[in-house]
Structure 1
């Protein structure tokens, strides 16, 4: 195998394929990146069996071949090279020689025949989603994925297409995140995708108007971008009936500037870091929202202007849960729907139906 490739192109391909490599596999071969060099260029694959990422890179291939090379050391070597062409070739003594200007590395490689094949997925039945829209939807739900391994289904995100609507849903027992977008398709599908998969997908997606094509099987999902394919297993089991968690009515509605509320909570949370609760209290008054926090560090009072429909209320939250929501909303004006100090709070964007969040309050000791 012999090929020549520009550093930035090769490094980009390595960075993409590496996202699938966890370093936790018991199979040594999965510590490596699979490289297949043909006349059409390079194919790079990284995998941990649960998720596989395949990407193509343009290169001048002089002699075809395939190898597997340790991803960590390979990436570090290429990253340290100057911005120049890199020549990679196998040698007669069973090593791979990497040359860039005056630098020459000779390192061992693994047998490509031992590398597991990635699942073969029929791409005839697929949906098309705008890259930037999908990226924002993942960003707006992935923070609410459960970290608790006792309920594996909640470590995933529900991916549901029905009635020309795409919903992404996540929940962890303390908050619920829903993002919705119109999707021009007649296909109906409901699967649960591992949260880690979608986080890695969002890192590869770009903020542009290009499309990503998504294909499903009973066990796997395929995201097909321009030069990259991400294949992941799906989670077994049925997702929680999230609609039953959403309150059907509310007794008060707060309309407030999102950024002003976020700034006030961020400042108040500086005093809430004593312990793990990050507790802040909200006193919803007639025309102002009073945010307070008391701890051994001291106390703070913030006031944010708002509009109230309904009765005044006092309610407390883990500030981190509220901030996660506010940072992932886009509208300037948001509404908060509440019923009592112990009932869930629903947060929506004032002029958009694309996002809906639920946050459980912290019960205050009387």
Structure 2
């Protein structure tokens, strides 16, 4: 195998493929990056068996071949080379030679035939979504994925296509995040994608309206971004019926400026860092909400103007859960819907209906 490639392009390809290499494996071959040089150019693959990422890189291939190189050392060598052409060739005894201007590295490589084949995916059931929309939907829901391993299904995000809508849903038992977008597609799809997969997908997606093709099989999902493919296994099991968790009625509706509310919560929560509860209390009155926190560190009191319909309520939250929601909302004005101090609070934008969040309150011992 012999090929010549621009250092910058090779580095970008390595960066994309290595997002699937976790290093937590009993198979040494999976600590490597698979490189295939052919007439079409260069193909790089990284995999941890759960997630595989394949990306193509422009290169001048002088001799075809396939090898696997330790991803960490390969990535570090390429990153530190001069911004010039890199020549990579196989020598005898499983050695790869990397040459760039006056730098020469000889490193041991592994046999490409030992690298696991990617799952074959028949691209029949496909939906197409602009990259910036799916990136925004992942960002707006992934913070609510469960970190607790006792319910593996909640460590994923529900990917639902229904009634010409794409819905992404995440919940962890304390909060729920739902983002929806219109999708001109008549399929009915309901799969659960591991949260870590979607976070890696989000890093590769760009803020532009180029289309990403998403394909499903019973066990896998494929994201096709022209030069890059991401294949992930799906989580087994049925996701929680999230619609049944969203209250249909409320007795109190509050309009509030998002940034003022967020600033007040952030300041008040400085005094709420005693223990893990980050407890803050909200007292909704006619024209203001009083935010207080009280711990061994001291006390804090904030006041933010509101527009309220209904009777006031006193309610307590883990401030981190509220702040996570506010930081991921795009509107300047948000609406909070509540019924009592012990029932869930629903938060959404004042003008846009494509995002909805639910946060459970903390029960206070009186």
TM-score (norm. length: structure 2): 0.99
Q: Which runs of 4+ in 1 moved over 4 A?
A: none
2:20 aligned counterpart, secondary structure: coil
Residue 109 of structure 1: how far off its partner (Å): 0.4
Quote the Cα distance in structure 2 between the aligned partners of 1:94 and 1:120. Answer: 29
Match of 2:152 in 1: 152
Aligned partners of 2:94 and 2:110 also within 8 Å = no
Quote the Cα distance in structure 1 between the aligned partners of 2:364 and 2:124. Answer: 55
Is 1:294 paired with 2:333? no
Is 1:227 paired with 2:220? no
Match of 1:18 in 2: 18
Give CA deviations for 1:31-59 in whole Å, capped at 9, x if unaligned.
Answer: 00000011221100000111100000001
Residue 298 of structure 1: how far off its partner (Å): 1.4
Match of 1:325 in 2: 325
Residue 85 of structure 1: how far off its partner (Å): 1.1
Give CA deviations for 1:3-49 in whole Å, capped at 9, x if unaligned.
Answer: 11111101110011001111001100000000001122110000011
Match of 1:309 in 2: 309
Quote the Cα distance in structure 1 between the aligned partners of 2:146 and 2:94. Answer: 46
TM-score (norm. length: structure 1): 0.99
Quote the Cα distance in structure 1 between the aligned partners of 2:110 and 2:180. Answer: 45
1:54 aligned counterpart, secondary structure: strand
Is 1:361 paired with 2:333? no
Residue 93 of structure 1: how far off its partner (Å): 3.6
Quote the Cα distance in structure 2 between the aligned partners of 1:289 and 1:237. Answer: 41
Aligned CA RMSD, in angstroms, stands at: 0.8
1:19 aligned counterpart, secondary structure: helix
Residue 190 of structure 1: how far off its partner (Å): 0.6
2:335 aligned counterpart, secondary structure: strand
Give unpaired runs (5+ residues) of structure 2: none
**Relative to structure 2, which stretch is displaced further, 77-86 or 129-138?**
77-86
Match of 1:261 in 2: 261
Residue 92 of structure 1: how far off its partner (Å): 2.1
Residue 124 of structure 1: how far off its partner (Å): 3.1
Quote the Cα distance in structure 2 between the aligned partners of 1:192 and 1:21. Answer: 21
Match of 1:61 in 2: 61
Quote the Cα distance in structure 1 between the aligned partners of 2:277 and 2:158. Answer: 28
Residue 248 of structure 1: how far off its partner (Å): 1.4
Superposed counterparts of 1:209-220, under 5 Å: 209-220=209-220
Match of 2:341 in 1: 341
Match of 1:82 in 2: 82
Residue 207 of structure 1: how far off its partner (Å): 0.3
Give unpaired runs (5+ residues) of structure 1: none
Quote the Cα distance in structure 1 between the aligned partners of 2:83 and 2:310. Answer: 63
Is 1:124 paired with 2:124? yes
Give CA deviations for 1:237-293 in whole Å, capped at 9, x if unaligned.
Answer: 110011111111111011011111111111111111111111111111111111111
